[in-house]
Amino acid sequence: MSDAAQQLAGSTATGDNKPFAAQLSNVYLSILALFCFKLFVKISLNLLTYFYIVRGNRKEAARISAEFYDYAQQRGSWTDRSPLHDAASQGRLLALRTLIVQGHDVNSVTIDQVTPLHEACLGDHAPCARALVDAGADVNASTVDGATPLWNACAVGSVACTEVLLENGARAQSLPHQPSPIHEATSKGHFGCMEVLLTWGTDVDMDIPHLGTPLYTACVCQELECARKLLREGANVQKGKSLDSPLHAAAEKDCTAMVKLLLDFGADINARDGECRRPVEVAPPSSLTEGFLLLYEAMPRLLSQLCRQCIRTCVGQDRLHLLCHLPLPSRIRSFLQYQ
């Protein structure tokens, strides 16, 4: 019984092999035919798309164009990376405009809720970002990680994209559960983005429980210019992360220039952190910073410095930008603005 079955199987196998071997000679012809067919289909679809655009049927054009670009339309409101995502991330403005005209949804999202605008900002492609915003892209869109296009622009240091977004009504300050653009820009030393954010009204002392203030972030990441800008804009020099002051962070990093800057702006050298330590106690032993702090403690403060801090405190953070309009000799004005 089993022998018969084996014989039968053997005979069918040899029987199948013969026509297959015969087909082998035609395989190149088949591939060529298939290729020509696919090319024909693609060309006809493309022609159809243009036909529909001319006739003004954009929805149908988008559907056909989607087929043309071989991306699968998913059920529901999201699609995986659309041609718009690709064009935006590569900064291909012309392709992007064409796709928008063809009626592709500028707010289509990937499974991670990434929009084409997110991609344009991550690639520092401001013209693409502008084209998307003009076509109605949501400037406040948020990915599953809470990242907004503005956060992406700040992460890569794209000043132009940051401006495009803020000019078009993007939220300058993140919601509590979202990553914060100003902290991101500060931590990476993207001075330009930070400046634009402050101009558009981001709170200079914005406090995030696990990160602290932007000034504290600048001290941890040793971004001196960012720290200087924040302090000039009136950042509270004492405010860090819970009890840790910015001076503690700078001392711990042995960043003498930062320590000096903070002290110039009136940082309290006797502030205590969560473990009741003073800045000089968190500085690495026998480091330059420790020496500097010990020396500073022993020296009397300059009267001019004390006067400056007193005046700035009286003026108040909200009115610091008006200092330049005070009818004072320009040298005193510059001194008051730390310039």
Ligand X SMILES: *[C@@H]1O[C@H](CO)[C@@H](O)[C@H](O)[C@H]1NC(C)=O
- Pick from 269, 261, 210, 212: nearest CA to 232: 261
The answer to whether residue 146 forms part of the interface with ligand X (CB under 6 A) is no
The CA distance from 216 to 231, in Å, is 11
- Residue number, 88 or 219, with CB nearest to ligand X: 88
Q: Are 248 and 282 in contact (CB under 8 A)?
A: yes
The answer to whether residue 230 forms part of the interface with ligand X (CB under 6 A) is no
Which residue in 139, 154, 185, 251 binds ligand X (CB under 6 A)?
A: 139
Q: Give the contacts of 254 (CB within 8 A, at least 6 positions apart).
A: 283, 284, 287, 288, 289
Quick one: three-class SS letters along 214-233?
HHHHHHHCCCHHHHHHHHHC
Q: Are 272 and 278 in contact (CB under 8 A)?
A: yes
- Residue number, 165 or 250, with CB nearest to ligand X: 165
- Residue number, 10 or 136, with CB nearest to ligand X: 136
The answer to whether residue 169 forms part of the interface with ligand X (CB under 6 A) is yes
Which residue in 42, 63, 171, 239 binds ligand X (CB under 6 A)?
A: 171
Q: How far is the CB of 106 from ligand X (least distance, A)?
A: 12
Distances, alpha carbon 89 to alpha carbons 86, 129, 144, 165, in Å:
5, 10, 19, 16
Quick one: three-class SS letters along 266-280?
CCCCCCCCCCCCCHH
Which residue in 6, 73, 74, 140 binds ligand X (CB under 6 A)?
A: 140
Q: How far is the CB of 115 from ligand X (least distance, A)?
A: 12
- Residue number, 90 or 113, with CB nearest to ligand X: 113
What track of x and - describes contact with ligand X for positions 177 through 196 (by CB under 6 A)? --------------------
Task: Output the six-digit token pair for 268.
Answer: 């309290």
Q: Give the contacts of 144 (CB within 8 A, at least 6 positions apart).
A: 112, 113
- Residue number, 161 or 247, with CB nearest to ligand X: 161
The answer to whether residue 136 forms part of the interface with ligand X (CB under 6 A) is no
Q: How far is the CB of 191 from ligand X (least distance, A)?
A: 25
The footprint of ligand X (CB under 6 A) covers 139-140, 169-171
